[in-house]
Structure 1
Amino acid sequence: MGNQNKGDKYREIMSIGNFTKHAIENFEHNIVEQKDYLEKVKSHEAFENLK
């Protein structure tokens, strides 16, 4: 029974690790998208100021 508890704890730690990994990847992806959006807005504003 002790081995089963260790296995359950290991699986729980693995699932938390996977959750954290995916959260970080999503965060990084969102940061890149936000940066691209801000660059487009800045470019558009600069273009509008030239008119």
Structure 2
Amino acid sequence: MDSKPTSSPAAAEQPALGGSVVLAWLYVGIPLAWGVSQTFIKALALFK
């Protein structure tokens, strides 16, 4: 039986992009979290 490598060669050639990924998630996540929180606050006012 042939044993296959666990990671592809293409993945091994790409540099680590951890910092860029974190910044991208923050760029999208912060406004998204703010919008969800504001929607939740305004929805609570409907039930008072």
Q: Name the TM-score class by shorter chain.
A: 0.5 to 0.7
Structure 2 unaligned regions, length at least 5: 1-14
Give every structure 1 segment of 4 or more consecutive aligned residues whose post-TM-superposition deviation is greater than 6 Å.
Answer: none
Of 9, 15, 19, which residue of structure 1 is paired with 2:25? Answer: 19
Shift of 1:23: 1.0
With structure 2 as the length reference, what TM-score do the two structures score?
A: 0.54
Separation in 2 of the partners of 1:26 and 1:32?
A: 10
Can you give the 5+ residue segments of structure 1 that lack an aligned partner in the other structure? 1-7, 43-51
Q: For the pair shown, which has the larger CA radius of gyration, 1 or 2?
A: 1
Question: Cα deviation per residue 1:1-51 (whole Å; 9 max; x = unaligned)?
Answer: xxxxxxx45x54233201112111111000000011001111xxxxxxxxx
- CA-atom RMSD in angstroms: 1.5
| Whole-angstrom CA distance in 1 between matches of 2:47 and 2:24 | 35
- Residues paired across the two proteins, number: 34
Structure whose residues are more often helix by fraction? 1
